[in-house]
Amino acid sequence: MKLSTQHLLGIKNLTREDISLILSTAQDFKDVLQRPVKKVPSLRDITIVNLFFENSTRTRMSFELAERRLSADVLNFTASASSVAKGETLLDTVNNILSMKVDMVVMRHSASGAPHFLAKHIPAAIVNAGDGINEHPTQALLDAFSMKEKTGRLEGLKVAIIGDIMHSRVALSNIYLLTKMGVEVTVAGPPTLIPKYLTDALDVRVEYNVKKALQWCDVANVLRIQLERQSQPLFSSLREYSLAYGINRRMLESLNKEIVIMHPGPINRGVELDSDVADGPSSIILNQVENGVAVRMAALYLLANREN
C-alpha cells in the first residue's frame, strides 16, 4: 500500500487507510528502534530540510532523530538566524533551499496554512510540523499510536481532550484522526476555550465539567493553556484554571476506574496537570515522546517512497 497524498499537510486530508498504513509502518520502525543498531538505510541519498519558524524542542528533535535513523541527509533552518530576519519572503527562502537539491521539507510556522501555500508552489514533499492553530498531524498520529499501544484498540475507545481547545492545533488534528478511526471524542474545558461550532461541525461532545469528562473517558489527552496565542484574557488566572480544570491525583482516585493520561507537551505543571499525575502510573507521556520518532520515521519513509 501507498499513501494517497504527496504531502502530509494535515489529518483532514488523509483517508482511514492512510492513517492505518502510517500506524502499522510505525510499529515496524519501533521494532527497529529496539535493536542495538537503530539506523536503517531507507532514506539514504534523500535530503530533508527542517524549516522551523517557531520555537520547538520535542518536535524538532524528534524529526531530526527520525531522519537520521533513516540515514537521510539533514539540514536545519532557524528563522531567527536566517535571511528571513532581513525581510526575505517565505517562498524565496524555500526556493533558495530547494536549489540545493532538497527532496523534502519539514515545516513549522506560526501562520495557519503556510505549508499548504508552499505545497502549491514547490515540487518537494512537505510535512506539516504544526501551522498556527490549524493542524499538527504527526502529533495526532503519535497520540493515536500511543493510545492503541496502551489499550489495544482505537475503534470504540472513549477519548477526552481537555484544556485549551480553541488555540490548539493538536486538538483539531486529534479530533480529525480519532473520529475517522471510530473513536468517541469529548472535548472539555472552560466555555471560553471551546469553539461553539465543534459539536455540529466535527461530531464531538462538549463537556464543561472536567470530572464528568474523566468519568466518561478511557483516555484523557490533556492540553496546555496557550497564553501566547490569546489576544485577551479568557479566564481569571492560572490558579483559578488549575482549581477548576486541573487534574490531580485526588481527582483520579475519586473516579473508581483506571484511565490513561496523555499530554503532547510542554506541560505546565501545577496548571493542567499536577506532577504526581504527569509522572504517575496512569501517564504514558514519555511513551508518546518515544513513539514520536517511530511515527515520524514512518511518515517520512512513506512519503519518500510514494512514487516508487
Is 136 annotated in some ligand binding site? yes
Is 226 annotated in some ligand binding site? no
Query: pLDDT value at position 152?
Result: 97
Is 108 annotated in some ligand binding site? yes
What is the band of 226 on the pLDDT scale with cuts at 50, 70, 90? confident
Give me the mean pLDDT over the 278-291 stretch: 97
CA distance 49 to 141: 21
The residues that bridge with 185 in the sheet, in sequence order, are: 159
Dihedral angle, C-alpha 38, 43, 46, 47, nearest 10 °: -30
CATH 3.40.50.1370 domain residues, the chain: 16-133+292-304, 137-288
Question: Which CATH homologous superfamily contains domain 16-133+292-304?
Answer: Aspartate/ornithine carbamoyltransferase (3.40.50.1370)
Query: pLDDT value at position 39?
Result: 96
What is the band of 84 on the pLDDT scale with cuts at 50, 70, 90? low
Give me the mean pLDDT over the 163-171 stretch: 94
Is 239 annotated in some ligand binding site? no
**What percent of the chain has a predicted confidence (pLDDT) above 90?**
78
E strand spans, 104-218? 104-109, 125-131, 158-162, 184-188, 205-207
What is the band of 234 on the pLDDT scale with cuts at 50, 70, 90? low
| 137-288 is classed CATH 3.40.50.1370 | yes
Is 58 annotated in some ligand binding site? yes
Using alpha carbons, select from 152, 52, 40 the residue that is nearest to residue 110.
52
Is 249 annotated in some ligand binding site? no
Is 190 annotated in some ligand binding site? no
Is 78 annotated in some ligand binding site? no
Using alpha carbons, select from 35, 40, 11 the residue that is nearest to residue 305.
40
Is 182 annotated in some ligand binding site? no
Amino acid at 100: M
Q: Is the pLDDT of residue 274 over 60?
A: yes
Q: Is the pLDDT of residue 1 over 80?
A: yes
Mean pLDDT value across the chain? 92
Give me the mean pLDDT over the 146-167 stretch: 96
Is 269 annotated in some ligand binding site? no
What is the band of 297 on the pLDDT scale with cuts at 50, 70, 90? very high
Handedness of CA 112, 299, 64, 277 (dihedral sign): positive
Count helices and strands (H / E) in the chain.
12, 9
